[in-house]
Amino acid sequence: MSTRNTALGILAATILITGSNTVAADDFADAIYFGGPIVTMIRDGDRVEALAVRDGRITAAGRKDDVLPTQGPATRMVDLEGHALLPGFIDAHSHVVQQALKFSVVNLDPYPIGDVKTIADIQRKLRARIEETKPEPGKWVFGWGYDDTGVAEGRHPTREDLDAVSTEHPILLMHISSHLMAANSKALELAAITAETPDPEGGKIQRVPGSNEPNGVLEEKAMGFMLGTLPSPTPERSLEMLAYGLRKYAEAGITTAQEGGAVPGMLKLLERGAEAGVLPIDVVSYPVFATLDDATLARLAADWSTPARYRMGGIKLVLDGSIQGYTAYLSKPYHVQPGADTEVDADSCGSDVGMKMVLGGDTMETVYEAHEAPTPESDYRGYPNMTLEEVVKWVRAADEAGIPFFAHTNGDAATDMLIEAVTQVRKDRPRPDLRPVIIHAQTMRDDQLNFAANQGLVPSFFPIHVQFWGDRHRDIFLGPERAARIDPARSALDRGMKITLHHDAPVAGIDILNVVSAAVNRRTTSGKLLGPEEAITPYEAFRAVTKDAAWQYFEEHRKGTLEAGKLADMVILSEDPLAVDPMKIDQIEVLETIKEGKRIYPDHPG
């Protein structure tokens, strides 16, 4: 964007100072934006010609002639040059600490989120990192984001695949769900995992067919064998990774982000980051229920709604796992039943190992009680991660303390459990004042949406599943009928509900424009429409990541729209996203991100 202080502007300011419509010097704007569509998001179609900012807040937004009188000698005049100004994007649900770690290791995200299509691609990227960094022998090499269902081979990389990259460096790869990993022989050796190592309760060491030899893939609690072997970053390095990760969020146009499954070490890290002043954007965390102690619960009750650069915002419940991992809890069987040896994973919350890598050894001992996965049968429909009694206990605890809860439910049977718990606790006394959120809510039925609408439960949908896993949901996991209704945003809006949209990073990247595009277009990776009747309009989708996301956080009074009095949290896009062909929304570029009037991306002065 070009910045200019014109002689004409200075002259106009001088006239105003001496004229009858006096503007005091203290009221001059720090910056005035003009020259492109300024999309307020107050209502569909609302645009203004100019917007003024002072001391981190919007002081005026309207006709250019009405805003220009706030120009003073030092006001930056920012010509948008035809580009669009919108409220900063608000991340309704992700895991910023895990994503910060992911940014520091080899990115193995599968296509179309990333560029990995084969196991050979994984090997290529790992070799490139070793060649680039030239680590000493014995130094670890980490990767994150591979997906066994997203590579041509349709399997996990094994120890042999990773030994072909290096046998002198221990190599460890985190699955896209954070609930499985793959290791080479050196890493298995350091962790003392051998043919004689038994599977832990709630976990599995995958074996070479016909033997007990580990093949390198570790599931769930078996990942814990790696804990004692991993290097721990210093507190300073942890802060560096967090700060870098949040700068990448800013690069995506995000001005408020979430840590949606915090354990004690994460809370400490975020608090240190806030104290050190290294958080470029606002962060709201949600401690996982099983890690909450009385002191943390008391702190939550006292100040969860107090705005701050960092704050805790509620309690996180985890009722089930992931659809694509066969661990989401469904009311009807999976379309294609898993075999007895099917790998089971979940994208519910962060792994112990990943947390150690970020937090320097401060891991969560137990996020929730281990529940044995049922042996897959012809009517297999997944399983819950919490008992109904646990859900009732924590819904009641949240209500009694006056704290919002975020409940992860991917499967509709898990949502049934949440509904039963809410019914038991609240009976005929809804608590819409607490704005409780159902995270993912991907398979919500009409009757469940009706209940949520009456109770004030807020669904936060995960529409990138339509694009990325949509073909597999239709053909493998859910079948055509249920897959067409995945993420039923249209059905929710037609009931007058507020909704938000999210990307659940590090699962599906941090690009909000991709999330919006998926909700609007509902195109799968193969280009097929999946449930077009659940598509929403571009305005509705952008409202879900600005205005209504601010409301989800109880911050609608200061964020989410461009109007006088609100924080100058803004994003400049290459095109007006409400005016372009909807199929091109994901091609729009984030040019600049502004937090409280200061440009935080690009990070050089301007």
Within-domain flag for 245: no
CA 228/CA 358 separation, integer angstroms = 14
Domain limit, last residue, from 229, 251, 269 = 229
Q: Closest Cα partner for 358 from 485, 261, 481?
A: 261
CA 497/CA 460 separation, integer angstroms = 11
pLDDT band at 12 (very low <50, low <70, confident <90, very high): very low
Q: Closest Cα partner for 218 from 192, 252, 240?
A: 192
Is 215 in the same domain as 155? yes
Within-domain flag for 97: no
Domain of 507 in residue numbering reads as 288-293+314-559
Within-domain flag for 319: yes
Write out pLDDT tens, residues 203-236: 789 999 999 999 999 987 788 899 788 887 889 9
Within-domain flag for 467: yes
Is 139 in the same domain as 126? yes
The DSSP line for 333-366 is --SSPPPTT------SS--HHHHHHHHTT---S-
Is 439 in the same domain as 516? yes
Is 199 in the same domain as 339? no
Q: Closest Cα partner for 551 from 267, 252, 305?
A: 305
Average pLDDT of the residues in 52-67: 98
590-595 and 598-601 strand pairing? antiparallel
Q: How many structural domains compose the chain?
A: 3
Q: Closest Cα partner for 466 from 600, 591, 586?
A: 586
Q: Coil, strand, or helix at residue 73?
A: coil
Is 127 in the same domain as 209? yes
Write out pLDDT tens, residues 231-279: 878 899 999 999 999 999 999 999 999 999 998 999 999 999 999 999 9
Is 337 in the same domain as 424? yes
Is 358 in the same domain as 481? yes
Write out pLDDT tens, residues 149-204: 889 998 999 999 999 999 999 999 998 877 789 999 999 999 999 999 999 876 78
Instruction: Specify whether the backbone of 161 is left (phi greater than 0), alpha (psi in -120 to 50) or beta.
Output: alpha
Angle formed at CA 317 by CA 312 and CA 318, multiple of 5 degrees = 130
Q: Closest Cα partner for 199 from 219, 173, 226?
A: 219
* pLDDT on residue 394: 97
Is 456 in the same domain as 565? no
The DSSP line for 372-439 is PPPPP-TT-----SS-HHHHHHHHHHHHHHT--EEEEE-SHHHHHHHHHHHHHHHTT---GGG--EEE
Within-domain flag for 16: yes
297, two tokens: 């619960």
Which residue is listed with tokens 């994984």? 122
Which residue is listed with tokens 């094994």? 158
- Residue 596's CATH number: 2.30.40.10
Within-domain flag for 363: yes
Is 57 in the same domain as 151? no
Specify the higher pLDDT residue, 150 or 349. 150
Q: What is the C-alpha end-to-end distance of the chain, expressed in Å?
A: 8
- Residue 327's CATH number: 3.20.20.140
Is 544 in the same domain as 571? no
- Write the single-letter amino acid at 281: I
Within-domain flag for 252: no
Within-domain flag for 244: no
Is 41 in the same domain as 142? no
Is 544 in the same domain as 406? yes
Separation of CA 414 from chain center: 21
